[in-house]
Homo-oligomer: A and B are copies of this chain.
Amino acid sequence: MGALSKMKVIDLTQVLSGPYCTMVLGDMGAEVIKVEKYPHGDDTRQMGPFIEGESACYMMVNRNKKGMRVNLKHEKGKQILYRLVESADVLVENFRPGVAAKLGIDYETLKEINPGLIYCSISGYGQTGPYRNKGGFDIMAQGLSGIMSMTGEQGGEPVKVGIAIHDIAAAMTALYHILVAYIHKLNIGEGQYIDISLVDSGLAWTVWEAAAYFGAGEIPRPNGTRHRVSAPYQGFRTQDGSVLVGAANQKLWEKFCLNVVGKPEWITDPRFREGVDRQANVDTLAQLIQEIFITKPSQYWLDKMEAEGIPCGPILSYDQALQNEHILARDMVQEVEHPVAGKVKTLGFPGKLSATPGHIYRPAPTLGQHSEEILQSLRFSAEEIKQLQEEDVI
């Protein structure tokens, strides 16, 4: 039984950040009821690729949830939500600011029904501030936070981080705030409102960059694979691919000179003697190492560095990553049986809890799969449920 088995969550979110957050609550044992909009549900249900007609993206972030479809624009739909709220601990929504109030399902309204409710809103820019009404996707948040401006080839244009980093940041930030609020509720019985934005969530992760900027006015720029203050700490091309080198301190650097590249003279070379020297001459240093690394295959260099205890590794493509022996040994690829799509692969649990491990309790729901079951549990009669269907409420 998961650690959150007493927690009941209403999930009004769609696409990535909200669903990822509530998926983790489900992984940890919470009862998550995903309430999808009428008629088509979560927008990702339309996003490919599809497996037997079911969206792979949808299935990936909606395991461990029950699903119902409710037309919240319909008065009767709103009444269903109100009844769900009576016994819920947590509600998560990612409407644009203002929409929940217009629908009559904002925090001010729902806390009257259940003062213990933890109500978490996720939006692009948050519920306050001059940009609150703008439409904001992950890419705009990457642009606004400066994260894009520090990612890219050295001297090149900013590029997007390969994953939707601000969406994920909002998911993580919503998640831990919900858990903190739930601990407060367990202690005191009181609920509260949580305002999460994509922009703030990612920005809060730029701590090294903030230290360098506030401390010395340094502005991070695209820098390829390089570390900003440590060298050599970057990727090099080899005869047959690329490897990453992390000779991040003096001891490792000296081992690297002596026993990896066979350049003992670099240790006393005034350009490279100390960390600050190597950083000041990083271009020259990188070029010299590159000329040596290109002459042998990746495995040769990895073996040499590992023998010296120098942190190093390959740059894997994503398919290689998901087939890597260590990643598989860590159970990071799992399988779930879906009623329509069949056996589907999914990512495993990043944290290993000894007493209350994450668990795949159920696959992602098909649209409206648990509508009837949930309505019955809310004391709706068979007759009422039939009527709700006829009136396009569910």
Q: Is A20 an interface residue (CB 8 A)?
A: yes
Report if A126 contacts B (CB, 8 A).
yes
Interface residues of A in 193-234 (CB under 8 A from B): 193-197, 199-201, 203-227, 229, 233-234
Q: Is the CB of B162 within 8 A of A151?
A: yes
Please tell me if the beta carbons of B49 and A211 are within 8 angstroms of each other in the complex. Answer: yes
CB pair A57–B208 under 8 Å, yes or no, is yes
Asked whether, in the complex, the Cβ of B316 is within 8 Å of the Cβ of A225, the reply is no
* A204 touching B313, Cβ below 8 Å: no
With A179-B176, A210-B322, A211-B56 as contacts: A227 and B139 at CB distance below 8 Å? yes
A351 touches B196 (CB 8 A): yes
The answer on a CB contact under 8 Å between A330 and B129 is yes
Cα distance A393–B183 in the bound complex, in angstroms: 37
Quick one: given A246-B140, A321-B144, A327-B144, are A158 and B219 in contact (CB under 8 Å)?
no
Residue A128 at the B interface, CB < 8 A? yes
Q: Given contacts A161-B162, A197-B330, is CB(A211)–CB(B140) below 8 Å?
A: no
Specify which chain B residues have a CB less than 8 angstroms from the CB of A47 in the assembled complex. 229
A204 CA / B153 CA spacing, docked (Å): 25
Bound CA–CA A332/B202 (angstroms): 11
- Is A186 among interface residues, defined by CB-CB distance under 8 A? yes
**Chain B: which residue is nearest A225 at the CB level?**
B160
Chain A 1-25 interface residues, beta-carbon cutoff 8 Å to B: 3-4, 6, 16, 20, 24
Mask: chain A, 134-159; 1 = CB below 8 Å from B; 0 = not: 11110110011111111111001111
Is A32 an interface residue when CB atoms closer than 8 A count as contact? no
Judge whether B317 and A49 touch: CB under 8 Å: no
Contact B352 A318 (CB under 8 A): no
When the two chains form their complex, are residues B180 and A4 in contact, meaning their CB atoms are under 8 A apart?
yes
Q: How many residues of A contact B (CB 8 A)?
A: 148
CA distance A389 to B71 in the complex (A): 69
Interface assignment of A260: CB less than 8 Å from any CB of chain B: no
Chain B residues with CB below 8 A from A95, complex form: none
Residue of B nearest to A177 (CB): B351
Q: Is A48 an interface residue (CB 8 A)?
A: yes
Contact A203 B165 (CB under 8 A): no
Segment from A33-41, A80-88, A97-105, A339-347 that makes contact with B: A339-347
Q: Is A288 an interface residue (CB 8 A)?
A: no
Query: Chain B residues with Cβ under 8 A from A61's Cβ?
Result: 207
Q: A276-315 interface mask toward B, CB cutoff 8 Å, 1 = contact, 0 = none?
A: 0000000000000000000000000000001001111111
Q: Which residues of B contact A126 (CB under 8 A)?
A: 330, 352
The answer to whether B51 and A183 touch across the interface, beta carbons within 8 angstroms, is: no
Interface membership of A390, Cβ < 8 A:
no
Report the bound CA distance from A220 to B128 in whole Å: 35
A303 to chain B, nearest CB (A): 13
Given contacts A56-B214, A153-B159, 7 further A-B contacts (CB under 8 A): A144-B314, A148-B162, A151-B161, A158-B225, A159-B159, A203-B332, A204-B347
